[in-house]
Amino acid sequence: MNILLLLTDGYGSLGGISQFNRDFMAALNASMAVNRVQALPRLIPNEIKGAIPEAIVYDRSASGSKTRFTWHAIEHAWTPVAPDLLICGHINLLPVAYFVARLCGARLALIMHGIDVWRPTSDPLTNRLARSVDAYLSVSSLTADRFVRWSQASPDRMSILPNCINLDRFTLRPPDPTLIARYNLHGFRVIATLGRLAPKERYKGFDEVLEVMPKLVDRFPKVKYLIIGDGEDRSRLTAKAASLGIAQNVVFTGRIPEEEKVSHYSLMDAYVMPSSGEGFGIVLLEAAACGIAVIGSNADGSREALMEGQLGMLVDPHKPDELTAAILRTLERSTPRMRPSGIETFGIDQFQLRVDRWLWRQEAAIRAKREAA
Amino acid sequence: MCGIAGVFSLNSNLGAEHRCVITRLNAWQAHRGPDGEGLWSSDDHSVSFGHRRLAIIDTGSSGNQPMSDVTGRWTITFNGEIYNYQVVRAELNQLGYRFATHSDTEVLINAVAAWGFLGLRKLRGMYAFALWDNRNKELWLARDPYGIKPLYVAQCNDLVWFASQARALAECVPLENKRDPAALAGFYLWGHVPEPFSWWENIEMLRPGSVQRFQAGKKIATSEVFFDIPETYAEAEPHNMSREEIRDAVKDSVQHHLVADIPVGVFLSAGIDSNVVAAFATELRPGTKLRTITLGFDEYAGTPEDEVPLAEEAARALGSDHVTVRIGKEEFDTILDHFFARMDQPSIDGLNTYLISRAAAAQGLKVVLSGLGGDELFGGYPSFRQVPFLISMGRVLPSSKWLRDRISGTFRHLLPRGVPPKMAGAIHYVGEIGAAYLFRRSLHLTEELATLLDETWLRAGLEKLQTESSFQRIVAPVARAGKPVHAQVSVLESCCYMRNQLLRDSDWASMAHGVELRVPFVDVGLLEWLAPAVSSAAPPSKQDLASCAKHFNPILAKRPKTGFTTPVAEWIRDIHEPRTWRLHGWADTVHRRFRTPPSQMQPLLGALAS
């Protein structure tokens, strides 16, 4: 099967969606159902490092303007070996994907990452096309349900493909003394949240944790809250910490390099993310894989990531007392670090298996359509 | 013919874990030699050899390997056959060398003991071996001049590993196993992985006609070339040959290739080469009924591509004990997994040899002669016409790259159905022999690769391959000696297509069934005999070859050349994109099988099946 994959970003990019896309491309590469993938990234913000999987042709020339991206996508429809399956990596790219798929007669699939599909988009055309896709891949059931509710898409076409984590990379490690010194954490209990500090992503729950910090400090004067990430909201959050009188207990690390991520998890006593808009919440799993106690939300996709509470505690993000109690309980318990059982469900092997099964189903559908024609 | 493997430590002693890897390599290569297994380690624990034996000459236990000579200085693990071993043995006897066995293996050891690496020039055969010199504490690795037998080497952490199959090393030895970009680019360019590269970056093929010597403490091996095919063409004094002379040369080679202590068969097609071999084999063994096998395909039945009727007619005329084996898609589907499990490195060819070797093994044959190599010596390929044509077109067509781009761009959209897509780019490959040959032999043109491989692979791959200039380099001695283009094409076909594709595939595909494939047209004795004629202004043709065998059926000479093809493109139509051009789809299928290492693939497939 030849695949045309339209992406927002992937190689040479940071963030959850690009990580999912890289994992997805690696799985396509390892699948026996796939001949070749022509992958068109809309953006390549950074330099691409390392080798691209050998079945993937990463068309760098497609990135840049929308016109350029669209033109390249159309060009791929005209090649002598046109794609059998067009996978649209983000709902915002759906109009282009739909047009190209119709042009070359390819089966069309859409990947849904989370909050981006929970509500209708601002583009009426995209909203109209949303129900006309042949197959959907959603990172969580919650995301699929919310999408189906407004789009009227057939639930039969939904498949769930949760994000995956590299369990060989996210492992238990002793805290790094350099980082302890860097953030002045010696003797402190550490809770943390990792994410982009963007006004559009306030659903991650930084505010909720800050608001319960005074109570935590009352109980544990030597506790620090590490806010890992950067963005336009940083100054607002800094001011908020000051107004709550806990500025000394909050550390803004700024954006950290990818290779320091595991060392940062290793500093924590608890990873806390009382979010309300996560499609899945991969960071919860990363922390859990590093043996860190995790507190997540029961109001979004985090619930599925934490396997209904098997991999970490679930709290209602809108109930500060519940959140406070959960954090205090975790800090008081101070149990030795261990990886929760069941986390292998989100390992790369399982991800590969899910992608493979989905691809075989797509291939069968493509073949059936061809035979019918 | 056998499977060999081993390890040499440049610095420290080998441990039990290293010997364990050799046992694993032996087990992996067991299909190459079902008649016996051998393991040997030197007293100083610096070297360890493994061997799987297919017993052809001196079939008793005295021929077992690894084998040491009577002095105890040399120990060898050897894959192949030395056809003139009796002549060389007589010469060595006169020099006072003693022999404990009747095998060709011991002759090979003593030839090296007597004459050093230049002793290999005296040998006619196909071989790859590792030889341990216990006196100088030196490991010799060597390969025959044409490169009929493979020998892969991987140097890692002061250890030198070697084996008959690259995949055996990749799957049994703890190596990094990164993909070689040259292999990826080469595979899509030509349909095979060209030497010295292999599918895995740290595993390389030993140069044919050379000896590489490793010594303890020295990381860099010394390499000596004892036979060079292009130089042989370059040094040949052009001379027109009579049919009688050609007849004597070919007959002599077939005679050498019939040496065996067990029955020898012939793969018989409707082509000239295999029929000439069969005709000479019949002539040389009067009173013995030759065994011949033909492979036919259900899909070709009743079409001009069907070789069966003519081959059967030829077999009747020869009076051979003949078997025709027909295969269709249904059977192909059942053997596909085994075929890919045995394929050493990705290749778009090899299926034909695999199928006919399977048939030979089912008939109880262990040694079979093939007509491979006849086209290279007797100008049988269309390339002998097309390459000179493309060179001459360089003088007629516009030289401006811009103009050529426009012309090829226009052609690309005008190509009628049934014309290979690469024809659109022909204009870029005129004027020089390297470019013309690249065009002639390419599965995809360089410019087509951008849609098949990511630019990181492609850039690094083409950089390593140096496609056109590497071809230019190969023919340089022949061109410098003023030999005609015909001789240069013969050199390129022998040293590139035949070596990298035909011989490579013949090795793993025949050994997949424990069958030894012998190639009388790929023989240094024959080459030295015929090189003056091939380098002359009137080189011998396939018709000359056809007319020199006494029992040759003349009707075969009139059949247009088709090659030994399979209907694989039709067979994979339902498992592959039907819109691809012939073997392009097959190349994708092969690559797909080699992207995921089998060890990772099997549990995955098992899980899917459940």
Cα of first residue to Cα of last residue in chain A, in angstroms, is 18
Q: pLDDT value at position B603?
A: 44
Q: What are phi and psi of B224, to 5 degrees?
A: -130, 135
∠ Cα B114 B115 B121 (to 5°): 130
Q: Report yes or no: A136 and A109 within 8 Å, Cβ to Cβ.
A: yes
Counting every residue written for chain B, the total comes to: 610
Q: Please check the confidence at residue B599 and state whether its pLDDT lies above 60.
A: no
Across the interface, of A48, A55, A357, the residue whose CB is closest to B608 is A357
Coil, helix or strand at residue A276: coil
Q: A356 vs B608: CB contact, 8 Å cut-off?
A: yes
Q: Please check the confidence at residue B608 and state whether its pLDDT lies above 50.
A: no
Of A160-164, B230-234, B600-604, minimum mean pLDDT range: B600-604
Q: Please check the confidence at residue B550 and state whether its pLDDT lies above 90.
A: no
Per DSSP, which regions of chain A are E strands?
2-7, 36-41, 56-58, 85-88, 107-112, 135-138, 158-160, 189-194, 223-228, 250-254, 270-272, 293-297, 313-315
pLDDT tens for A304-347 read: 999 999 999 999 999 999 999 999 999 998 778 899 999 999 99
Q: pLDDT value at position B578?
A: 52
Place of tokens 């590269």: B197
Nearest alpha-carbon partner for B367 in B357, B375, B377: B357
Rounded CA-CA distance B588/A1 in Å is 10
Rounded CA-CA distance B342/B165 in Å is 10
Coil, helix or strand at residue B38: strand
Q: How confident is the model at residue A298 (pLDDT cuts 50, 70, 90)?
A: very high
In order, the DSSP letters of A229-265 are B-STTHHHHHHHHHHTT-GGGEEEEES--GGGHHHHH
Which own/partner contact pairs does B63-69 have at CB distance under 8 Å and 24+ positions apart? B63/B101, B63/B102, B63/B103, B63/B105, B64/B36, B64/B38, B65/B2, B65/B38, B65/B105, B66/B38, B66/B39, B66/B40, B67/B101, B67/B103, B67/B105, B67/B106, B67/B109, B69/B100, B69/B106, B69/B109, B69/B110, B69/B113
Rounded CA-CA distance A55/B469 in Å is 28
Rounded CA-CA distance B333/B21 in Å is 33
Rounded CA-CA distance A181/A39 in Å is 43
Tell whether A354 is within 8 A of chain B (Cβ). Answer: no
Enumerate residues 6+ apart whose C-beta is below 8 A from A309. A303
User: Which CATH code, of 3.40.50.2000, 1.10.1060.10, 2.120.10.30, 3.40.50.300, is assigned to A2-163+347-372?
Assistant: 3.40.50.2000
Q: What percent of chain A has pLDDT over 90?
A: 90
Residue B119 host element (H or E):
none
Tell me how many helices (H) and strands (E) chain A has. 13, 13
Q: Report yes or no: B258 and B523 within 8 Å, Cβ to Cβ.
A: no
pLDDT tens for B101-113 read: 999 999 999 999 9
pLDDT tens for B89-137 read: 999 999 999 999 999 999 999 999 999 999 999 999 999 999 999 999 9
Enumerate residues 6+ apart whose C-beta is below 8 A from A59. A38, A39, A40, A41, A72, A76
Q: What percent of chain B has pLDDT over 70?
A: 94
Q: pLDDT value at position B609?
A: 40
Q: B604 vs A35: CB contact, 8 Å cut-off?
A: no
Rounded CA-CA distance A22/B460 in Å is 22
Coil, helix or strand at residue B174: coil
Across the interface, of A34, A57, A357, the residue whose CB is closest to B453 is A57
Q: Please check the confidence at residue A98 and state whether its pLDDT lies above 60.
A: yes
Q: Please check the confidence at residue A188 and state whether its pLDDT lies above 50.
A: yes
Q: Report yes or no: A155 and A291 within 8 Å, Cβ to Cβ.
A: no
Average pLDDT over residues B66-82: 94
Q: Report yes or no: B127 and B164 within 8 Å, Cβ to Cβ.
A: no
Q: How many CB atoms lie within 10 A of CB B328?
A: 14
Suggest the residue from B592, B593, B602, B608 to mutate for an interface test with chain A (most A CBs closer than 10 A).
B592
Coil, helix or strand at residue B510: helix
pLDDT tens for B477-515 read: 999 999 999 999 999 999 999 999 999 999 999 999 999
Q: Report yes or no: A72 and A61 within 8 Å, Cβ to Cβ.
A: yes
In order, the DSSP letters of B413-457 are HHPPTTS-GGGGGGGGG-SSHHHHHHHHH-SS-GGGGGGTS-HHH
Q: How confident is the model at residue B75 (pLDDT cuts 50, 70, 90)?
A: very high
Q: Please check the confidence at residue B604 and state whether its pLDDT lies above 60.
A: no
CB neighbour class for B21 (10 Å; exposed up to 12, middle 13-18, buried from 19): buried
Across the interface, of B184, B581, B589, the residue whose CB is closest to A54 is B184
Query: How many CA atoms lie less than 13 Å away from A117 in the CB half-sphere?
Result: 36
- Provide the H-helix boundaries in B219-271: 229-235, 243-257
Q: Report yes or no: B491 and B474 within 8 Å, Cβ to Cβ.
A: yes
Kindly list the structural domains of chain B, giving each domain's residue range(s) and its CATH number in brackets, ordered by start: 3-227 (3.60.20.10), 237-379+505-592 (3.40.50.620), 383-490 (no CATH)
- Provide the H-helix boundaries in B285-350: 308-318, 329-342
Enumerate residues 6+ apart whose C-beta is below 8 A from A181. none
Tokens of A92: 């915002």
Cα dihedral B382→B384→B390→B391 (10° resolution): 170
Q: A54 vs B607: CB contact, 8 Å cut-off?
A: no
Q: Report yes or no: B369 and B293 within 8 Å, Cβ to Cβ.
A: no
pLDDT tens for A226-272 read: 999 999 999 999 999 999 999 999 999 999 998 999 999 999 999 99
Q: pLDDT value at position B394?
A: 80
Greater model confidence, B288 or B5: B5
Place of tokens 């089912």: B362
DSSP state of B300: G
Tell whether B457 is within 8 A of chain A (Cβ). Answer: yes
pLDDT tens for B372-425 read: 999 999 999 999 999 999 999 888 777 777 777 777 777 777 777 667 777 777
pLDDT tens for B212-267 read: 999 988 888 899 999 999 999 999 999 999 999 999 999 999 999 998 888 899 99
Q: What are phi and psi of A58, to 5 degrees?
A: -90, 100
- Provide the H-helix boundaries in A158-223: 177-182, 206-219
Query: How many CA atoms lie less than 13 Å away from A78 in the CB half-sphere?
Result: 8
Q: Please check the confidence at residue B602 and state whether its pLDDT lies above 80.
A: no
Nearest alpha-carbon partner for B451 in B188, B215, B108: B188
Tokens of A274: 């009382």
Q: Report yes or no: B133 and B504 within 8 Å, Cβ to Cβ.
A: no
Q: Are strands B210-215 and B159-163 parallel, antiparallel or unpaired?
A: unpaired
Mark which residues 11-30 of A lie under 8 Å from B by CB.
29-30
pLDDT tens for B294-348 read: 999 888 888 888 889 999 999 999 999 999 999 998 888 899 899 999 999 999 9
Nearest alpha-carbon partner for B570 in B556, B557, B580: B580
Q: B592 vs A34: CB contact, 8 Å cut-off?
A: yes
Q: Please check the confidence at residue B552 and state whether its pLDDT lies above 80.
A: no
pLDDT tens for B182-191 read: 999 999 999 9
Second CATH level (architecture) for the domain A177-345: 3-Layer(aba) Sandwich (3.40)
Q: pLDDT value at position B572?
A: 73
Q: pLDDT value at position B53?
A: 86
Q: What percent of chain A has pLDDT over 70?
A: 100
Nearest CA in chain B to A371: B574
Q: How confident is the model at residue A356 (pLDDT cuts 50, 70, 90)?
A: very high
Q: B592 vs A55: CB contact, 8 Å cut-off?
A: yes
Greater model confidence, B13 or B365: B365
∠ Cα A355 A361 A366 (to 5°): 120
Domain ranges, ordered by start, for chain A: 2-163+347-372, 177-345
Q: pLDDT value at position B560?
A: 67
Q: A-chain residues within 8 Å CB-CB of B592?
A: 32, 34-35, 55
Rounded CA-CA distance B379/B418 in Å is 26
Q: pLDDT value at position B606?
A: 45
Tokens of B564: 């030994």
Which own/partner contact pairs does A241-247 have at CB distance under 8 Å and 24+ positions apart? A241/A210, A241/A213, A244/A210, A244/A211, A244/A213, A244/A214, A245/A214, A246/A210, A246/A213, A246/A214, A246/A217
Q: Please check the confidence at residue B464 and state whether its pLDDT lies above 70.
A: yes
∠ Cα B68 B71 B74 (to 5°): 40
> Do A2-163+347-372 and A177-345 come out as alike in CATH topology?
yes
Q: Please check the confidence at residue B564 and state whether its pLDDT lies above 70.
A: no
Mark which residues 581-610 of B lie under 8 Å from A by CB.
581, 584, 588-589, 591-593, 595-596, 600-601, 604-605, 607-608
Rounded CA-CA distance B194/B182 in Å is 8
